[in-house]
Amino acid sequence: MAPNVSRTEQEWLDWLSDKAGAPFSDVGPERTIAFRALGVLWTVHGRNEQDTVLAMEDFASTLQILLVEFASLDPVIVPQDVDIEIRTYPADRQPTDTYLTRADGDRRMWLLFLPAEPQDEVELVIHLAFQVLLGNSLLGQEPFSQLMDRAARNGLFHNLEIGRPYRELARFRTRPVPPLADVRNRPLVDPNRRNPRAGSSQLDACSGPGPGYTVKKAQSILAERYELLPVPIRLTLPELLKDERIRTLFQDLREEGWKDWHLLAVVMNLTINLRVEARYEAITVESAGRLKVAVFDESKREEQPDDPRISPSEVTREVMLNRIRMVAMSSLRRWGLTLHHGDTYADPVMQILEHRYGFWTDDIPHPDPFQGLLTTTA
């Protein structure tokens, strides 16, 4: 006879395997499915009612099968938590938009709408799962579609049919609200230590050089940077370097791992933005598209004495750290990568650029753009 074990909630959570989900996640007013794959915690949830639960389970299983198929194809998934809420609608009242998405800090939030009736559900489930994966990938739509085609040739759609018998059998259940779905019941969760805390090693995030990365291409990009970055700041940079605080800041950043091209790129970013805003309008999310050509032209134009210049007081550590994120995000196109949503948080994207595209490590021999005024060598 097994001994009687008495544990607190926290002790039960500590006792669970790192790969286990939250106990009793199918009780209470909301049903939640959580799992880890490709470096991401995926959470799918919805109201604990039959139509929503079946649609949610259908979507979650489809997403899991897609993730397994894509694990060896390297879709360059952004390493950020993904939260997916599922809602259902009557077959004759399909909403105009079947999916909505937004960023919430470093999480990607999705709201998906699926039909309550199963006969209309299968193709839409696959479409929505594709949109979620694409939206969390840094691959462009065409290369991502090519991965989808490869997965299809490997038997993806045959594997997706595995869940169909479950769907059909589950519809025999006539009770629309399952037992234990009221607010008196809740899953066993720790908001500060969410289960599962780990995933299968076979579904770890891809590592090694990212798609399109080669040392030769990296060196070519860096050679172009060292040639072009000083041009639009040929007068601004010497003026900034007269300030001892700026020299100290640049030296400190060098010691922390910044390359000379990082420093040049941030100064150029500040300078170009100032010139564009002085000649046209403030650069915002709304105006960025129409100012794209102006920004490009200014980045190629040699700085003139009458051009507006940034003040040394505007160049602080905080500004440098914020702007290097902008530089990183703008460098995605160099590698054929793209952001599908402009509100994507920068830090997880920078993780990919750091570990798979040499953002913080790649450099080449180059003339000193600071003319020996910085004592710390790059």
Between 357 and 344, the higher pLDDT residue: 357
| pLDDT tier, 5 (very low <50, low <70, confident <90, very high otherwise) | low
Q: What is the pLDDT of residue 166?
A: 65
Between the CA of residue 124 and those of 116, 157, 340, 361, what are the distances in Å?
A: 12, 14, 20, 43
Q: What is the DSSP letter of 154?
A: T
Is it the case that residue 3 has pLDDT exceeding 60? Answer: no
Average pLDDT over residues 329-347: 91
Is it the case that residue 163 has pLDDT exceeding 70? Answer: no
Q: What is the pLDDT of residue 175?
A: 62
Is it the case that residue 327 has pLDDT exceeding 90? Answer: yes
Between 22 and 308, the higher pLDDT residue: 308
- Asked if 211 and 44 count as a contact pair (C-beta separation under 8 A), the reply is no
Is it the case that residue 171 has pLDDT exceeding 70? Answer: no
d(CA 205, CA 44): 20
Nearest-10 Cα torsion for 69, 72, 76, 82: 40
Is it the case that residue 135 has pLDDT exceeding 90? Answer: yes
Between 272 and 24, the higher pLDDT residue: 272
Which of 15-24, 96-105, 202-211 bottoms out in mean pLDDT, i.e. has the lowest? 15-24
Burial class (CB in 10 A: 0-12, 13-18, 19+), 277: middle
| pLDDT tier, 315 (very low <50, low <70, confident <90, very high otherwise) | very high
d(CA 14, CA 297): 58
Is it the case that residue 337 has pLDDT exceeding 50? Answer: yes
| pLDDT tier, 125 (very low <50, low <70, confident <90, very high otherwise) | confident
pLDDT tens-digit readout, 22-81 = 777 788 888 999 999 999 999 999 999 888 988 898 899 999 999 998 888 899 999 999
Q: What is the pLDDT of residue 13?
A: 73
Report the percentage of the chain scoring pLDDT > 70.
92
Is it the case that residue 353 has pLDDT exceeding 90? Answer: yes
Is it the case that residue 1 has pLDDT exceeding 60? Answer: no
d(CA 167, CA 142): 32
Q: Which amino acid is at 281?
A: E
Mean pLDDT in the chain?
A: 87
Is it the case that residue 173 has pLDDT exceeding 70? Answer: no
Q: Which residues of 317-355 are buried (b: 16+ CB within 10 A; e: fewer)?
A: eeebeebbeebbbebbebbbbebbeeebbbebbbbbbeb
Is it the case that residue 120 has pLDDT exceeding 70? Answer: no
